């Protein structure tokens, strides 16, 4: 259990140290002025040589306990830490200004008395001589940044560019506390106004965008309509066309299979025709033969008259005149006048 705690503590310490070291590497020397005659002054109105640090990250980092030195002998790896510290100037703690915000700058005054302010260092900076300036971490052994500064004229500074190259800046271009090189690019509106004063270019651009959008919409809807038409045609073909051919094919296949079965069963005499078909054909022939057997008629109707004596008797009853003698003597005599006795 104790070993686990010790291991976890060691890992936490190592990770914290790594994070601190990574944060320290984001601090770098940004600008140095060695001969200050008319540049910025401290809180007491005095002109001192100054060093500007920059935090290149977007997080705040406290530089208290870190070291500046102009003694190049501290680069000797055999030199002890106490001996190194003697040849360095430490950044005091206790001042909130030592916390450098993200993308911010902080100025330290050199050749001064640290008792005046936490930002005043006793670091010896010669005015008109070249010098080497080193910036070390709080362990006094890890070099964070360094620069070799040439001899500078009054109020000139040695500044770092965005490409990490150093240049000498004239007195009127010195930028303590801010970015060394501020770009004043032409705005897009000003550039457009300069390049297209009459607005022809922007008009053509706008019309081109509109027509391009219309062309894209036309192509989209044309392709969409073509796809929909093809889908509709495919549905019609699937729903209607294949049914009849498939049904007919199935029927023909069934008939052929049935005929083949009959041939295999009954031989080639029936030619694959069912016996039921033969029986039906014979029955129909017999029925037709029976229907055809009857008397031959001419289709002429002959009517013959027949002589009877009923008309004579009718005349005697309706005509009160002379009696009519019946043509047949077998007919009864009908009196036409009353008999008087």
Could you read off the pLDDT of 270-316 as tens digits, one per residue?
Answer: 555 666 776 787 888 887 777 765 555 556 667 776 666 656 655 55
What pLDDT is attached to residue 323?
55
For residues 118 and 128, the answer to whether their CB atoms sit within 8 Å is no
What pLDDT is attached to residue 6?
62
Q: Which residue has the higher pLDDT, 327 or 125?
A: 125
Chain-wide mean pLDDT for the chain?
Answer: 81
Measured CA to CA in angstroms, residue 120 lies from 21, 42, 53, 134 at distances of: 25, 9, 14, 17
Residue 21 has pLDDT above 60, yes or no: no
**pLDDT tens, position by position, 145-175:** 999 999 999 999 999 998 999 999 999 999 9
Name the DSSP class of 177. T
Residue 18 — very low, low, confident or very high, per pLDDT cuts 50/70/90? Answer: very low
In sequence order, what are the residues at sequence separation of 6 or more whose Cβ sits closer than 8 angstroms to the Cβ of residue 147? 29, 32, 132, 133, 158, 160, 166
Average pLDDT estimate for 253-278: 62
Q: Which residue has the higher pLDDT, 200 or 258?
A: 200
What pLDDT is attached to residue 131?
95
Q: Which residue has the higher pLDDT, 317 or 67?
A: 67
Q: Which residue has the higher pLDDT, 11 or 275?
A: 275
Average pLDDT estimate for 10-34: 72
| Mode of pairing for the β-strands spanning 131-136 and 105-109 | unpaired
Residue 91 has pLDDT above 80, yes or no: yes
What pLDDT is attached to residue 72?
95
What pLDDT is attached to residue 278?
67
User: Domain spans of the chain?
Assistant: 2-173, 243-291
What pLDDT is attached to residue 136?
98
The CATH number, out of the four listed (3.20.20.10, 1.10.10.10, 2.60.40.1260, 1.10.3720.10), of the domain defined by the range 2-173? 2.60.40.1260
DSSP states along 190-207:
HHHHHH-TTSHHHHHHHH
- Return d(Cα 182, Cα 38) in angstroms, integer: 22
- Which strand (E) or helix (H) includes residue 62? strand 61-62
Average pLDDT estimate for 10-30: 67
Residue 196 — very low, low, confident or very high, per pLDDT cuts 50/70/90? Answer: confident
In sequence order, what are the residues at sequence separation of 6 or more whose Cβ sits closer than 8 angstroms to the Cβ of residue 118? 91, 92, 93, 94, 95, 97, 98
Q: What are phi and psi of 125, to 5 degrees?
A: -125, 110
- Which strand (E) or helix (H) includes residue 145? strand 143-149
What pLDDT is attached to residue 172?
94
Residue 14 — very low, low, confident or very high, per pLDDT cuts 50/70/90? Answer: very low
Helices (H), 178-274: 188-195, 200-239, 243-266
Residue 184 has pLDDT above 70, yes or no: no
Of the candidates 123, 48, 60, which has an alpha carbon nearest to the alpha carbon of residue 91?
123
Each residue of 73-106: b (16+ CB within 10 Å) or e? ebeeeeeeeeebeeebbbbbeeeeebebeeeebb
Measured CA to CA in angstroms, residue 333 lies from 306, 311, 323 at distances of: 22, 14, 10
What pLDDT is attached to residue 19?
45
What pLDDT is attached to residue 191?
79
- Return d(Cα 125, Cα 108) in angstroms, integer: 12
């Amino acid at each position: 259990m104790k070993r686990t705690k010790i291991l976890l503590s060691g890992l936490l310490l190592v990770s914290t140290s790594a994070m601190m070291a990574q944060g320290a590497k984001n601090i770098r020397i940004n600008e140095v002025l060695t001969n200050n005659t008319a540049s910025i002054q401290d809180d007491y109105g005095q002109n001192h040589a100054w060093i500007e640090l920059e935090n290149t990250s977007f997080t705040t980092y406290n530089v208290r306990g870190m070291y500046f030195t102009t003694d190049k002998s501290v680069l000797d790896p055999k030199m002890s830490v106490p001996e190194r510290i003697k040849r360095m100037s430490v950044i005091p703690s206790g001042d909130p200004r030592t916390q450098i915000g993200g993308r911010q700058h902080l100025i330290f005054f050199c050749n001064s008395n640290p008792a005046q302010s936490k930002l005043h260092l006793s670091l010896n900076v010669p005015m008109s001589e070249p010098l080497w300036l080193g910036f070390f971490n709080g362990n006094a052994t890890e070099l964070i940044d360094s620069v070799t500064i040439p001899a500078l004229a009054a109020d000139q500074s040695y500044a770092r560019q965005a490409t990490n190259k150093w240049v000498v800046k004239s007195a009127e271009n010195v930028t303590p506390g801010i970015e060394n090189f501020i770009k004043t690019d032409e705005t897009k509106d000003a550039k457009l106004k300069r390049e297209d004063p009459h607005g022809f270019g922007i008009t053509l651009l706008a019309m081109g965008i509109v027509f391009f959008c219309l062309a894209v919409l036309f192509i989209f809807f044309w392709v969409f309509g073509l796809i929909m038409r093809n889908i509709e045609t495919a549905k019609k073909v699937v729903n209607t066309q294949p049914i009849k051919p498939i049904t007919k094919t199935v029927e023909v296949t069934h008939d052929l299979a049935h005929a083949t079965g009959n041939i295999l069963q009954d031989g080639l005499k029936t030619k694959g025709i069912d016996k039921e078909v033969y029986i039906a054909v014979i029955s129909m022939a017999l029925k037709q033969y029976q229907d055809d057997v009857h008397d031959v008629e001419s289709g002429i109707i002959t009517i013959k008259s027949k002589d009877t004596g009923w008309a004579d008797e009718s005349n005697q009853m309706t005509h009160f005149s002379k009696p009519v003698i019946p043509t047949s003597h077998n007919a009864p005599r009908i009196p036409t006048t009353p008999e008087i006795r």
